[in-house]
Structure 1
Amino acid sequence: MPKTVTAIAATRTVSATDLVLRWLVAPLVALLLLVPAIRAETITAHGISTFGQLKYPADYPHLDYVNPDAPKGGEISVWAFGSFDSMNPYSIKGRSGGLASVFFESLLSDTSDEIGSSYGLLAESLEYPEDRSWVIFNIRPEAKFSDGSPVTAEDVRFSYETFLTKGLNSFRAQLSKKVKAAEVLGPNQIKFTFNEGIPTRDLPQDVGGLPVFSKAHYIENGLDLEESSLTPMLGSGPYVLDRMEIGETLVYRRNPDYWGVNVPLMVGRNNFDRIRIEYYADYNAAFEGFKGGSYTFRNEASSKIWATSYDFPSVQNGTVVKAEIPHGSKATGQAFIFNLRREKFQDPRVREAIGLMFNFEWSNETLFYGLYDRVNSFWDNSTLAATGTPSAAELALLEPLKDMLPEGVLTDEPVSQHVSSSSRQLDRKALRTASALLDEAGWIVGDDGMRRNAKGELLEVSFLNDSQTFNRLINPLVENLKRLGVAAEHEFIDNAQMTNRERPPAYDFDIVTGFMSTSYIPGTELRQYYGSETADSSTFNKAGLADPAVDALIEEIINATTQEEMNTAISALDRVLRAMRPWIPQWNKNAHTVAYYDMYEYPDPLPPFALGNLDFWWYNAEKAEKLKASGALK
């Protein structure tokens, strides 16, 4: 009998019991074999959300908050402070021109009516497993740079690799830890594989949000991301550089051949033919320029000007629209920031005492016409700000760190700023409290009325400033500090010096106004603003904050897999940061205060998280002609 027949015959001798077991076990084995396949299932989508679902389906025609029929044309012009000497926004050298990043697009882009969602821009789709350990981007075949050359996977990889070694430290510090490999799989397909042992929740969006520029143009023109340059890199964005007067004027022109005009994410956007930026060295001069029609849109930041100066004829006759437009955005984190690298600021009692001398209530009533609210939280004007005493979930994160935490974090409500009397510049109660704090910290008042430590060193505090509009805020604060016995001064410098002194490696300041920023779904960028590893290298960690408890809570936020876990960790971090007092928080307003010549229109309502005047507003040609005929515009 042939061998094969013998084998078959042998299988027929299996017992009935064995057969029953086989019938029972086989389906289970098959199911178990399927489990890895299910877990490794690849998701293909038009976008990605950190938590939950995307708002917009794959076949969405346009964003809800745009006018898809908005006309294209006209010019909008704004002002900028100081000057510029570079068109490279990714170098620490030089001061880049306003909107210098407008040339560049990314594989993914977010929207202004969602939190934590990104949709394909250069990428028509992305593929990733449930654990997000890697991501593949499929680049739209129609995507083009502004010179008409195609955007390829090689351009994406080259941009990523360039950011990995050059330019702002914030890019390279994080990219090197996140990405294991960037592989070109085809002309329009690139795969990013992430390092093991790190949270992957945000990584597809992190790499998908990197600016993409042309490899060929970069090499052919001898560009260097590290260096200041007036030759911009070539991008794929809807605007190109039209005209430049160094340090004075920038004009961007809408590319009539922009490849992405029909991409759903871009429909109804980029409506102006030109965006012009006029530079002014003086805030008041800039306002006079607006009154005279030298530029046409002003987002007013001066409460004094807003309250007292918008009575000029063009406002009275309706040529200029003055409007307060509500928004839902959280506070910007604007604050006086201590340079914690300086020994005199190591003691939190010193920082608290100095902060007590800022009388916000008097400033708001006397200088700001009651326009602002005081900021207390790093997530102010949002549901993420810490409130009340710590919850049980927060305590589970904070108690293991108790030996590293400031006093009261585990038991008290979060630190809020002192509420001073608005009736006088110097609040006497705040002065007494601050004086006691400095006495405890060893800064004693001498016969000359000045405070010195045991070494005989004066407590000297300098506020570095390059904006004349802040003079009226800083000068009273300096006067109050002098009454406290602090050798305080206001050091006014030009913006070029400011750029050099507040950035690494110099960090040459005591206190500077800046932004201690946060986001609604924070990720690894928290390390750039508040992490120990960036204390002496990041442009954004101006305070030089380096604290192990903060580092631990940052990792809890990054590792959170649900919205609830993340919110709890954010609240805990907010408590700790507020208790550490690395800042003197300033103010916030919950509305855009804008003025513009009556030739612009916008969707109503606006989305909660953007004003969008350069994005999805549009130009009314008929109204513009009437303004020009009247002589209201130059």
Structure 2
Amino acid sequence: MPRPILLLFTLLALLAPHPGLAEPPHHGIAMHGDLALPADFTALPYVNPAAPKGGTIRQAVTGSFDSLHPHIVKGVPALGMGYVFETLLTRSWDEPFSLYGLLADRVEVADDRSAVTFHIDPKARWQDGTPLTAADVLFSLEAQRRDGTPNRRLFYAKVTAAEAPDPQTVRFAFAANPDGSIDREMPLLMGLMPIHSKAFWSTRDFSRTTLEPILGSGPYRVASVDPGRRIVYERVRDYWGRDRPVRVGQFNADRLEFDYYRDDSVALEAFKAGQGDVRYESDPAKWATGYDGPALRDGRIVREELPNHRPEPARGLIFNTRRPLFADVRVRRALGMAPDFDWIGRSLFHGLLTRTASYYPNSELAAQGLPQGEELQALAPFRDRLPPDLFTKPFTLPEAGNGSGNGPAGLRANRREALRLLEQAGWRVRDGRLTDDAGNRFAFEILLSDPSEERVALEFARSLEPLGIAARVRTVDSAQFQARLERFDFDMTMRWWASSLSPGNEQLYYYGSDAAGQEGSRNLAGIRDPVVDALARSIAAATTRDALVGRVRALDRVLLRGHYMVPLYHSPVDRIARWATLHRPAVTPLYGPMLESWWVE
């Protein structure tokens, strides 16, 4: 699905002062090093503080929705709900991972990161005008620990104590890891916890989906809903945080409208017809040929390619290793050798995408060459449990096809190697069919939700036919797709993992053994590897940026050798089309363009 532009994530209060809280309150937290912005900053560096207010920003998107509650497992939430809810702190998208005060105007962090205290801004208000207090924060923690999404339940389980010494102060303490270390990311994760109104939910069930607008504290509220088809947000005119430095120059449009379409080609035509104001284009074929028309030629539609320095999503055809068919790494590696990805890239994507060779592509976090420095140090304790050539041979993707220099002969060689690996795993071609010793054929289903993904999936399935493998592509509606993903009811699917420049606890949610058995988690591949667990857990404990980068590269290298997906492609730039009446600031932040800072002329 094309990505819409969204923003798009009591032990401390003992009567005696906590020795780790000796530093005075600060205006934010940086994961590593110091904050880039001083305490007296007036606006984020990538906004236009003088941007005018007013107008409407419309997006034509694909998919559907059946809920306005984005913080539970059930349902498919509407896009844009992040503008309704707020957090104690908020990100600067021009730094790897730094948070600045939003609902909380001051924060104190223990020296060892074992505790954090947030001081809530006395001006903070819910959209009905009532004060937002520490009681709401404590309610939000308990509600999301009980009924929230699996990643939040995983993170918030580390809170060992929470209390509100007064209505404007909330304090959290955190459990140590099994090795005695402290998860240094936890103060930041608590700063990013969505805050809900205790009074609003006192007469409602937090665990249930709802199409009733939920009370928030953010700059927008839900104005109207047509379930599955359309949602409209209106700017809160008396928004409490409009003068906060982290909000100046943002949320400028009076209305945000999301119109849903079942087919992305129809959504593109709606944009070109003026029924949308901005579109993030993830399909290179559409970018190359789909925008031509009078509006583009006369300058009413503007197309831009904006570089970014964030990790792009690691997209691929993901194996469900819970299925016995894909439990053997040799099988997974073999299937990745069959396609001619060079031909797919040129024919389907006009050569505009880069083949993904990392779980953190387009960033400094991607493993390259041989492990060294901090990365080698992170891998060393597991040397006896890792393939020896991981330390001596760089990871490379199979190359074959006319664009790789070795032509069809290279593709045939890859498929011979694939058959050799399959034979080692107990599979042989008999009468043109790949079967095991019991005569069971190697056959599986590729589950999709977006018809635009069918082209790649069908090419992949066709590439397996010479190996005697029968792969069937099945596309279902978004609600059924989401339900099957949450139950891990699929053989293979086309999805992605997205990470920031400062990965942390979510890596266990993506790849950890515990998450593999937790329905609704993002460990779609069912990875259960103690080495992956240890490396993923170590990332959040890194005390320097260099250590974090080394540990992420180590995890990347181990995941790549596990062949948990057949990697596809990513774009090194953001391709955005907009009508000329929509304007953006001159500065693009580290993570790429942020629609909340744009304005309508």
TM-score (norm 1): 0.88
Q: In the alignment, residue 25 of structure 2 is paired with which amino acid?
A: T
**Equivalent position to 2:528, from 546, 562, 568:** 546
1:176-255 alignment runs, 5 A limit:
176=157, 178-196=158-176, 197-220=180-203, 222=204, 224-255=205-236
In the TM superposition, what is the alpha-carbon distance from 1:488 to its structure 2 partner?
1.0
1:131-163 superposed Cα distances (whole Å, 9 cap, x missing partner): 122111100000011111111000000001100
* Aligned amino acid, residue 258 of structure 2: I
Q: What corresponds to 1:44 in structure 2?
A: 25
- In the TM superposition, 1:203-352 aligns within 5 A as 203-220=186-203, 222=204, 224-352=205-333
Q: Does 1:513 align with 2:494?
A: yes
Hey, what does 1:502 align to over in structure 2? 485
Separation in 1, partners of 2:549, 2:307: 25
Give the distance between the partners of 1:379 and 1:544, measured in 2 at CA: 19
Shift of 1:37: 9.6
Matches within 5 A, 1:2-21: none
In 1, the alpha carbon distance for the partners of 2:223 and 2:104 equals 27
Partner of residue 438, structure 1:
422
Match of 2:173, SS state, is strand
CA distance in 1, matches of 2:372, 2:400: 29
Q: Distance in 1 between matches of 2:126 and 2:340?
A: 52
Q: Which residue of 559, 575, 586 corresponds with 1:577?
A: 559
Aligned mates of 2:478, 2:375 — CA distance in 1: 42
SS in 2 for 1:298: strand
Larger Rg: 1
Q: For residue 232 of structure 1, report the CA deviation from its aligned partner.
A: 3.3
Shift of 1:78: 0.7
Tell me the alpha carbon deviations over residues 348-379 of structure 1, each in whole angstroms, 9 at most, x when there is no partner: 11111111223221111111111101110112
Aligned to 1:556: 538
Equivalent position to 1:148, from 85, 107, 129: 129
Partner secondary structure for residue 289 of structure 1: helix
Moved more, 230-239 or 254-263: 230-239
Which of 440, 457, 468 is residue 474 of structure 1 equivalent to? 457
2:112 pairs, out of 99, 108, 131, with: 131
Structure 1 366/422 Cα, relative in aligned 2: closer, same or farther at 3 Å? farther
1:384 aligns with 2:373: no
C-alpha spacing 1:353/1:272, structure 2 compared with 1 (3 Å): same
Aligned length, in residue pairs: 577
Partner of 1:402: 383
Would you say the 8 A contact 1:299–1:593 is kept in 2? yes
Structure 2: how far apart are the matches of 1:38 and 1:147? 39
What CA deviation, in whole Å up to 9, does each residue of 1:604-630 have, x standing for no partner?
A: 1211213112x100110xxxxxxxxxx
Matches of 1:495 and 1:201, distance apart in 2:
36
For residue 433 of structure 2, what is the aligned residue in structure 1? 450
- Asked if the contact 1:143–1:151 (Cα under 8 Å) also holds between the matched residues in 2, the reply is yes
Q: Is the 8 A contact 2:355 2:568 kept in 1?
A: yes
Residues 22-171 of structure 1: matches in 2 within 5 Å? 41-171=22-152
Partner amino acid, structure 2, of 1:560: A
- Give the number of the structure with larger relative contact order, counting CA–CA contacts within 8 Å between residues 6 or more apart: 2
8 Å CA contact retained: 1:43, 1:130: no
SS of corresponding position for 1:388: coil
Q: CA deviation at 1:304?
A: 1.2
Q: 1:580-618, CA deviations, whole angstroms, 9 ceiling, x for partnerless residues?
A: 1111111111211111111011111211213112x1001
Unaligned runs of at least 5 residues, structure 1: 1-35, 621-634
* TM-score under structure 2 length normalisation: 0.93
In structure 1, C-alpha distance between the alignment counterparts of 2:434 and 2:565, rounded to whole Å: 22
For 1:493-532, what per-residue CA distance to the aligned partner results, in whole angstroms no more than 9, with x for missing partners? 11111011111xx211111111123332222111100111
Whole-Å separation in 1 of the counterparts to 2:94 and 2:359: 22
CA contact (8 A) 2:99 2:188 kept: yes
Q: Distance in 2 between matches of 1:370 and 1:514?
A: 21
- Give the corresponding residue for 2:568: 586
Partner of 2:12 in structure 1?
none
**1:428 is aligned to 2:412:** yes
